[in-house]
C-alpha cells in the first residue's frame, strides 16, 4: 500500500489503515514536496521521493490519499491513477458508521474515525471526510471535497467539486455549496454559497471572491 504524503494527516491515515487490521509491512509512503516529514513515518517506513522511483518500484499498486487540500488531492489522484496506473483505495475507518440504505462511495475516499453518514448519500472521487463528521440523508458530495473535523451537514445538501468545509461548520438543511467554495471554521450556513467564494460567521456571510 502506498500512502501519498508523509505529514500529519498521512500518519492519521496510517492509523486508520492499521486499525482496520491491515499489516504495516506492506506500507510505503510517497512525498516529493515536503522538506519536513513526520518523524514517526520517516523513522519507521520507507518514503519514496520521486515519481520515477514509483514507476520503477511497482508493477501494480494501490494508493491512499494521505493529504489534505482539494486541489492537491485531485492532482495526486489523477497522476497516480491515470499516469502511474495505481488503483485508488477507499480508506474507511471501522469506527465510522455508514448507513445501509442506498449510499454510494466512489474511489480514493477517506472517511475517518467517528464519522456518521446516514441514508441515500452520494460521495464522489477523492473526497476527504475527517474525524467526527455527520452527514444527513440525501446529501450529494462532489469530487475532491474536503470536510474538516466536527462538521455537521444536514439532510438534502449538495457540496460542489473541490469545496472546503472548515472545522466545526454547520450546514442547515437543503443548502448548496458551490464548486471551489470555502466555508470557514465554525460557520453556520443558512443559505446557499456561490462557487469560488469564501464565507464565515454565524450566520455565515460573504468574505471574498476566490480565484
Q: Just list the catalytic residues.
A: 137
Rounded to whole angstroms, how far apart are CA atoms 117 and 147?
13
Cell of 122: 452520494
Q: How far is CA 93 from CA 53, 109, 113, 116, 120, in A?
A: 29, 11, 5, 11, 19
Largest alpha-carbon pair distance within the chain?
A: 52
Which has the closest alpha carbon to 72: 138, 10, 134?
A: 10
The answer to whether 137 and 155 are in contact (CB under 8 A) is yes
Pairing of strands 87-88, 62-65: parallel
> Using DSSP, how many helices (H) and how many strands (E) does the chain show?
4, 24
- CB 86, CB 80: distance < 8 Å: yes
Amino acid at each position: 500500500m502506498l500512502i501519498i504524503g508523509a505529514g500529519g494527516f498521512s500518519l492519521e491515515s496510517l492509523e486508520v489503515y492499521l486499525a482496520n487490521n491491515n499489516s504495516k509491512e506492506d506500507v510505503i509512503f510517497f512525498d516529493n514536496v515536503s522538506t519536513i516529514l513526520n518523524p514517526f513515518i520517516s523513522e519507521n517506513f520507507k518514503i519514496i521521493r520521486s515519481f520515477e522511483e514509483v514507476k520503477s518500484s511497482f508493477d501494480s499498486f494501490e494508493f491512499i490519499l494521505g493529504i489534505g487540500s482539494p486541489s492537491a488531492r485531485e492532482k495526486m489522484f489523477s497522476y497516480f491513477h491515470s499516469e502511474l496506473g495505481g488503483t485508488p483505495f477507499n480508506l474507511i475507518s471501522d469506527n465510522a458508521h455508514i448507513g445501509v440504505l442506498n449510499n454510494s462511495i466512489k474511489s480514493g475516499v477517506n472517511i475517518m474515525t467517528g464519522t456518521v453518514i446516514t441514508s441515500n448519500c452520494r460521495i464522489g472521487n477523492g473526497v476527504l471526510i475527517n474525524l467526527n463528521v455527520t452527514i444527513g440523508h440525501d446529501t450529494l458530495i462532489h469530487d475532491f471535497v474536503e470536510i474538516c473535523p466536527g462538521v455537521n451537514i444536514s439532510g438534502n445538501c449538495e457540496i460542489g467539486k473541490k469545496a472546503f468545509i472548515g472545522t466545526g461548520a454547520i450546514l442547515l438543511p437543503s443548502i448548496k455549496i458551490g464548486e471551489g467554495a470555502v466555508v470557514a471554521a465554525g460557520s453556520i450556513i443558512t443559505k446557499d454559497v456561490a462557487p469560488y467564494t469564501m464565507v464565515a460567521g454565524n450566520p455565515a456571510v460573504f468574505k471574498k471572491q476566490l480565484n
